Amino acid sequence: MLDTIQDVPVIPSADLETDPHSTLRRYRASHPFAALETGGYIVLGYDDVSRLARDPRLQATEVALPAQAGLSQGALFDIFAHGMLTANGQVHQDRRSPISRALVGEVAEQYRRHVRRSAHALIDRCFASGEMKLVGDYAAPLPALGLAGLLGVPKGELAPFLRDIDAMNAFFRPDATAATASSAEKAAVRVRSAIGLLIDYEGDDQAGGFLQHYVRLAETEPRHARVETLMQIVQLIIGGTESVRTAIVAQTANLLANPLQWRAVVENPERVPAAVAEAMRFEPGIAGLVRLSAEDIAIEGRTLPAGQLVVLSLMSALRDERIFDRPDTFDIFRLNPGPSHLGFGGGAHQCVADALGRAALQEALSVLAERLPHLRLAQPPVFSGHVFVRGSTECRVTW
């Protein structure tokens, strides 16, 4: 393996997998960016990541990633071909605008109420047993239940809807395999058809809801094709479940590993927003923003070449010692918390639902603290993924 490519160091994948934060810190100390052993480059510093998130020379990936995986059609391919996250320029704006207009007003509060109610219901299920699988019993179903509530999924259809979301999302996880891709494709077909039925259902309870409002906006000029209308909702589901799940696990595990901080949240629920912000900085749900370089880009005298996959590393930027005091310490009492909102990205693709994301994380934490004040960490999670979506192993908690 090469140690450097034209003076740029190559980061071994094994180092990133076994100890990502120390590895990123080591390279960040000497270089603004590095090459990845798997191909492409990773940008490391906070200022460069923030600036390049807004730089039009770095483009969204359109269908480059499914093409690399050998996909040229199908339900998974359509997510890339017709969704907002992978689109550029005017096409991106046209796809994002109806969703972002439909998400204003009361929607975040409605969503917050769905998440809160679901958090109580999930805890009720295992309360008597005194233990819970934090991922499987709580962090994974909770954001999906919140979205199902917002989209008006009928109660009787919740279980298959949640199973299909989980199977579809597996395609985007760090440990995805060829076998995952085949079951994810089938699940994506079912998710898409369930959304189609929800859109076409004209019951009274749907008329004033988020989904119908969105569809009305998507049907005004420039009118979405049906597949585009569907794919923005599919992307909302993927964006609103995977990152939230990992972030719930990270915030809970980090607080429990620091019992004084957990106690402070239990005793004073007003600390919840600060705890969520610090957890997102310390262990973000999305590792980085994935782009393609359309031109050579000079950074501190070195050249990031054109035609490359570029990861703008949120994991690295949010621990940049030039921006954050004691960046490797988890501390919800920070006097100067710093700009941790970069966890929601920046520029044209900045999270379209950051208000919902914060609401989900805050409710997930405040209901746990209220119902299970004596929560303890029995088996800590191990996090994976340094490119896009992050994952974690199961985490067992007891009370």
Query: Rounded to an integer, what distance in angstroms lies between the CA atom of residue 213 and that of residue 246?
Result: 30
Is 286 a binding residue for ligand HEM by CB under 6 A? The answer is yes
Q: Pick the binder of ligand HEM from 116, 192, 349, 390 (CB under 6 A).
A: 349
Q: Which stretch binds ligand HEM (CB under 6 A): 5-13, 206-214, 235-243, 325-333?
A: 235-243
Query: Rounded to an integer, what distance in angstroms lies between the CA atom of residue 173 and that of residue 245?
Result: 12
Beta carbon nearer to ligand HEM, 195 or 289: 289
The total number of residues written for the chain in this structure: 399
Q: Which stretch binds ligand HEM (CB under 6 A): 174-182, 320-328, 347-355, 374-382?
A: 347-355
Q: Pick the binder of ligand HEM from 235, 261, 340, 366 (CB under 6 A).
A: 235
Q: Pick the binder of ligand HEM from 20, 32, 285, 381 (CB under 6 A).
A: 285
Residue nearest to ligand HEM (CB): 239
Beta carbon nearer to ligand HEM, 32 or 357: 357
Q: Pick the binder of ligand HEM from 351, 369, 389, 395 (CB under 6 A).
A: 351
Q: 310: which strand partners? A: 41, 291
Enter the DSSP assignment of 224: P
Is 316 a binding residue for ligand HEM by CB under 6 A? The answer is no
Backbone angles phi, psi at 34, to 5 degrees: -140, 165
* Nearest approach, Cβ of residue 130 and ligand HEM (Å): 28
Query: Rounded to an integer, what distance in angstroms lies between the CA atom of residue 118 and that of residue 227?
Result: 30
Query: Rounded to an integer, what distance in angstroms lies between the CA atom of residue 295 and that of residue 82?
Result: 24
| CA distances in angstroms from 292 to 34, 75, 89, 130, 308, listed in the order given | 15, 23, 14, 48, 5
Query: Rounded to an integer, what distance in angstroms lies between the CA atom of residue 48 and that of residue 32?
Result: 8
Q: Pick the binder of ligand HEM from 23, 229, 243, 362 (CB under 6 A).
A: 243
Query: Rounded to an integer, what distance in angstroms lies between the CA atom of residue 317 and that of residue 143?
Result: 26
Tell me which residue of 195, 275, 259, 261 sits closest to 228, measured CA to CA. 195
Q: Which stretch binds ligand HEM (CB under 6 A): 118-126, 174-182, 188-196, 283-291?
A: 283-291
Map the footprint of ligand HEM across residues 116-175, applying CB under 6 A: none
Q: Pick the binder of ligand HEM from 98, 239, 381, 391 (CB under 6 A).
A: 239
User: Residue with structure tokens 């993927």?
Assistant: 238
Q: Contact residues for ligand HEM (CB under 6 A)? A: 84-85, 96, 235-236, 239-240, 243-244, 247, 284-286, 289, 343-345, 349, 351-353, 356-357, 360-361
